[in-house]
Structure 1
Amino acid sequence: MDSNSLCCSLDLVAGSGYTLSVEHRAALQTSFAILKKNYKFNRVLFWGKLLGLNGDYFIAQGNEGDEMKNKKTFYSFNCVEWHLLGPATDAMIEAVSKAARGRFMGDPSHVYECRRQGEGGGATKEEDVPVSNTMQVTEEIRLAVTVHQIDEEVSVVPRGAFIKNPQGLVQTNRSFEGLSHTEAQKLDNFFHFTEPKNLKKKSVHEMADLDPSIDFLNPLSDDIPKGCWSLQFECGSNVCVIRSLWWLGLTFFHVPVTPRHGYIYMGDGSKNVDLPFML
């Protein structure tokens, strides 16, 4: 969610039980202004909070030109001092999937270890495994991968909030005035804010209603399994709230007939892999 309207936005998702203390809100307002100036960002966004056993990670993101690409991600323990997270690579994602288990510890230097698969596949005692056959991943790498995965899978924007110009640059649509109440009731009008993958082919009649400058993303309605999103109206039916059932803790909000929208994640960084069996 945009740092310029952070306090108001947090109040709109408070129905999920996600909020910040007055001290943290005040610290974020000050530190975000400094972060934006030092890195010359167009916008600074509060991404959310990852809960750890011994400490929590506050996450922020900044972008320079393109709203979708080349985002810089930062983490902090006190909402004042921010540390840059490196981008997640395919090798990092694979390593985290094999080595990282359980809750976040709250220590970026914490090391997760797992044994590599041997050629024989036989079970051996842990103390007999050579160091060269173990895989190590720091929690800082795991943090970067988790933020990347959540962004890739469940970041949400309303249709028309962003436009793509002929040069391929994605920017905020200044003429966006929000979805109507009727439009906000349909998942078709909410998109994944990430590079589109396998855009579903539309019929001739559907193509006539599409605008290539705003319909360049995957709609939530195409997600599998059906029912992995929960759409509700709260605050006297004045706010549309969408929650992900894959990543419990991801909450998106949009105030119809206004440009106000955003999402926040507050959780332990675990994906609900049992969802297909729960629906």
Structure 2
Amino acid sequence: MVAIFSFLLYFSLPLFSFVKLQHVFSWSWQPFEGNFGILPMMLGSILLSVFALVLSYPLSLGICCYIHGDSHSVLRKVMLLLVQFMTSVPTVIYGFVAVFLLVPFLRTFFRHGTGFSILAAGLILSLLILPTIVLIMHSQFAQIEPKIRLTAKALGMSEAQKFIYIVFPDARKGLLTAAVLGFGRAVGDTLIPLMLAGNAVSQPESILDSIRTLTSHIALVVATDSQSDAYLSLFACGMVLFSSTIAVNIMLRWLAASPEKINE
């Protein structure tokens, strides 16, 4: 981890030798004029990841409650197998289908822009991170479910009461871990934002506007350039992404090391 950060820092130093730090962390991306602002891409990454997590997390929680509820055992197994199958679907398949089905629908329905937007990318990205969130929740629920099922039934609790008053408080650490990992998965994805978010370097005003994320920005510049100052600015983007990865790992370690604080 230290070696990777040192690598990114070393290759970004030439950029900071002739470009001030405020020109990198600014809102203006005009590389031919010496402005290498990456804040629009940072904002795009955060907005898209939060939007995808907001869409995916409640659905994932509902799926887990269904799997661990009193529904038919065959249906529970089918649901779990479907979620596990989603983990094996290549990301490009999600993006390819969305380009030809979802984007034209959004363009026609909302009559705003090209359809390549936060909404299009967020909907598909939420499906991409859903299996990760569901499987983490499922593993946590599976650990606590056997010891409470009979107790909850003996107390006359309904399914909703069982989850609200017993399962969720006991699985709070796992629920938080699922959210953190889901967010990290969304921030690190490249292909969905690249194919569906529009890649406009701008500050969006609605979910129907286009954005560019840090990951898609790196992919776009690397594909067309390897010598200019704009290329050097990608190492600053990499440092930001790597720092977010470190933050996610620190939070996960904190969650794992202090269960008593989380469950109080």
The TM-score range, normalised by the shorter chain, is under 0.3
Larger radius of gyration between Structure 1 and Structure 2: 2
TM-score computed with the length of structure 1 as normaliser? 0.25
Query: In proportion to residue count, which structure has more strand?
Result: 1
Q: Which has the higher contact order (CA 8 A, sep 6+)?
A: 2
TM-score computed with the length of structure 2 as normaliser? 0.26
